[in-house]
Amino acid sequence: MFSIHSWPQVILHVDGDAFFASVMQAARPHLKGKPVITGHERGIATAISYEAKKYGVKRGMTLSEIKKLCPTCHFVESDYELFSLFSKRMFEIIKQFSPVIEEYSIDEGFVDLKGLQRPLHMNYEAIGKKMKETIESNLGITVSVGISLTKSLAKLASNFKKPSGLTVIQGPDIESFLVKIPIQKVWGIGPQTAAYLQKWGVKTAFDFVSQTQGFITKHLSKPFFEIWQELQGKQMYAINPEAKTTYSSISKTQTFYPPTSDKNILWSRLLIHIEDAFNKARRYHYAVGSLFIFLKTQEFRYHGREIKLASKTSYPALVRDEIKQAFEKIYQPQILYRTTGCTISDLVENKAVQETLFQNSSAQNKMEKIYPLLDAKKISFGTCLYDKTTLSHEKKEIKPSIPYLSLKSLG
């Protein structure tokens, strides 16, 4: 089926193994080889070492649940500054091998290796092995590496032999490799799509690429057609070494401990997320057309509401009433909540937004004058409930003030 016998392009994917937990083990040598779980500040497991996974510990479990499975587990607080430092050092090492890198997330990246065999005096597999060994010896963590013709194949390869694995998929090896991969393990294919495909007899990645183009375009949307081509070795996703400057949506969320049913606390936190999301939209010159807010319960159930804005805007104070109404519909006083969050979407460039008959031009003009001062931190909407940079898990007696500007005060 696959007739690719050379390297039209060479993509390496490097992925930190249980990165957050591994970093804590590297920073605290007494934790090496022991079951480690991060997330003590949230009261739930956020990252799990391979030693802890053997006991059946999963993300989202509470401390009491974890102790039943693994009494010897070390439950530690996350150190995001430390994680960031390890990530920065990891990518500095990768840059010693190739100048073209996409930092996909804090613990994984894609690397363009094409043409580097001669200058580095190594074949592609040797380059991956050397990069892996350098990271592991310098940082004291393990990483898994995959090398293939496309991003999708390289990511499958890096996940194939975890932890500390190295897998190379050349053109002639694609078919025999994809036979081993369940369809739900393919990057970009979620549980719902996998279940749908399985109804058509598509159980492996090879079953997927064996389908005709007509089948794919008839039953699936464009992104899955691109994945179908990537898995055949045809590059659809180029490496993007630039920092991300365009967004289809922006999300802000945070889990806190202990959980609360306090309406003022939840409202204040939600407004902080909304302000932060809109602030990011303004930095990239976007106006917002849709807003989704949610509260997540202690039982991990989501209560959310979507708000379709009559007029796209960059200023959340203009839609405060709509947000408040949506919040009132999802908030239930008898329920304990552990997470607040929002997602803004339907983003368009500000210059493409036209004023409608329903817009309050006076309020809009005031926002255009006030928000630049807010963004520059020359004024404040009031004292936030928590310091956003160091949210403590300790209980505090704080009277929340709403970190939001009222239009009535501008009249």
Strands (E), 86-241: 101-105, 108-112, 143-148, 166-168
The Cα 93–Cα 107 span in angstroms is: 13
C-alpha Rg value of the chain to the nearest Å: 24
Residue in 17, 16, 58 with CA at minimum distance from that of residue 37:
58
* 77, 28 Cβ separation under 8 angstroms: no
* Active-site hit among 108, 328, 355, 397: 108
* 132, 145 Cβ separation under 8 angstroms: yes
Q: Supply the DSSP symbol for 116.
A: -
328 flagged as catalytic: no
What is the residue type of 403?
P
- Which two three-digit tokens encode residue 58? 């999963």
Could you tell me the CA-to-CA distances from 343 to 64, 281, 288, 325, 371 in Å, in that order?
A: 31, 11, 10, 17, 20
* Alpha helices (H) in 44-165, listed in sequence order: 50-53, 63-69, 80-94, 117-120, 124-139, 151-158
Sheet architecture: strand order including 143-148? 101-105, 108-112, 11-16, 143-148, 166-168
The Cα 376–Cα 372 span in angstroms is: 6
Q: Which residues are catalytic?
A: 108
